[in-house]
Amino acid sequence: MTENKPERKPILYSGIQPTGDLNLGTYIGAVHNWLKIQDDYLSIYGIADLHALTVRRNPQEFRKTTWSLFAQYVACGLDPEKSILYFQSHVHQHAELSWILGCYTYIGELQRMTQYKDKSAQHSDNLNIGLLDYPVLMAADILLYQANVVPVGVDQKQHLELTRDIAIRFNNAYGDTFVVPEGNFGSLGDKKICSLQDPTKKMSKSDPNPDSIISIVETPDQIMKKIRRAVTDSEAVVEYREDKPGVSNLLEIFSAMSGRGIDDLVKEYHTAGYKTFKEAVGESIVEKMRPIREEYERLMQDKNHLIDLASQGAERAAYLAEKTLAKVKRKIGLTDLKKK
């Protein structure tokens, strides 16, 4: 009797590398959008700790940053009861599927990835296989859960296209195996949140200049200081224009933090002067982040609770992941040990 069957929600998958705190780029580009749609899906949010290994890390610091990001997920409002929150390295199926999918991906496809080209230029002293293979692991993350939708920032669009290509290639060879996922780029669309010091560049966790990024758990004082120092221009009018990247970036941030439209903000602050405008932008961030920071600090006091939540997440994730992995292994002709 189909009418009694609860309708299964479509699946959402996304993740973030634990290479620093959430900042306004990762928060507005990803988490903010996740929060808007998390209830419409069975939502699965990974901490992409295996992805973070392409760069050498101090093990103690890495562990701390990883737990800290997990606490930030929860503090932002991702719900560990409704959604699945877990660490990628706790579900071994990711690495296994990544190997298999790597055998269905061409080296040329990976060498063409813009992120690979940028990262390999930045890390020419440590040009490891992980840097090249990175998008295959990302494809494994997504395809393992049969995700229908993947909410990410536009910088991940190329990786998502490759994921779709791999899924289609595999399905054509072996019959329907993977759901072919769609991207969701949220209200930013094809825009990124930019560095406060160089608004033509994306705000990035790996930027060595601390004034260029704002972490969501920074103190109000630090946030206000960084916004006051943000690079603008000498025109002194608040307008959203391509030739005003600094002011336009602050408007994007202001809009996401306050929930107000950019036109509305431009109307109010058009001739207010940059000092007043920046104070208002800074305050909108402080207000939005205050409860998140307080909840984060509370969660960080109770490591055992975080361990319980992450264990529960890993168990639920592994159950779903194993279903797909077993299917893939069967399709490609790997043996199993089930007795007839």
Which residue in 80, 102, 153, 246 binds ligand TYM (CB under 6 A)? 153
> 269 and 280 in contact (C-beta within 8 Å)?
yes
Which residues, 6 or more positions from 241, have their beta carbon under 8 angstroms from its beta carbon? 247, 248
Options 48, 76, 136, 285; binder of ligand TYM; rule CB under 6 A: 48
**137: exposed, middle or buried (C-beta count within 10 Å: 0-12, 13-18, 19+)?**
buried
Shortest distance (Å) from residue 25 CB to ligand TYM: 3
Catalytic residue (one of 157, 191, 202, 327): 202
149 close to 184: Cβ distance less than 8 angstroms: yes
Exposure string (b/e) for 309-325, b if CB count within 10 Å is 16 or more? Answer: bbeebbebbbebbeebb
- Asked if 84 is part of the footprint of ligand TYM (rule: CB under 6 A), the reply reads no
- And the tokens for 7? 């309708």
As a whole number of angstroms, the distance between CA 183 and CA 161 comes to 9
Indicate which single residue of 12, 29, 247, 317 sits in contact with ligand TYM (rule: CB under 6 A): 29
CA distances from residue 137 to 45, 144, 236, 293 in whole angstroms, order as listed:
15, 10, 46, 31
Q: Smallest gap, in angstroms, from Cβ of residue 53 to ligand TYM?
A: 12
Write the single-letter amino acid at 183. G
Binding flag, residue 116, ligand TYM (CB under 6 A): no
Of 11, 25, 68, 80, the one binding ligand TYM (CB under 6 A) is 25
Interface residue with ligand TYM among 54, 89, 156, 232 (CB under 6 A) is: 156
Give yes or no: 340 in active site: no
Which residue number is nearest to ligand TYM in terms of Cβ?
29
Q: Which of 44, 85, 101, 142 binds ligand TYM (CB under 6 A)?
A: 142
Calculate ∠ Cα 14-183-32, nearest 5°. 55
Q: Is 202 a catalytic residue?
A: yes
User: Binding of ligand TYM at residue 166 (CB under 6 A)?
Assistant: no
Q: Both tokens of residue 219?
A: 């103190």
Dmax over CA atoms of the chain, in Å, equals: 78
Site residue total, ligand TYM (CB under 6 A): 24
Give residues 188-247 in contact with ligand TYM (rule: CB under 6 A): 188, 192-193, 202-203
Helix (H, G, I), strand (E, B) or coil at 230: coil
C-beta of 104 vs 272, nearer to ligand TYM: 104
State yes or no: residue 102 binds ligand TYM (CB under 6 A): no
What is the DSSP-derived secondary structure letter of residue 337?
Answer: -
User: Could you identify the residue written with the tokens 């994306």?
Assistant: 202
> What's the token pair of residue 136?
């295959």
Among 12, 21, 26, 93, interactor with ligand TYM by CB under 6 A: 26
Among the options 5, 82, 117, 119, which is catalytic?
119
Chain residues binding ligand TYM by CB under 6 A are 13-17, 25-26, 29-30, 48, 51, 138, 141-142, 150, 152-153, 155-156, 188, 192-193, 202-203
**Positions marked catalytic:** 119, 202, 205
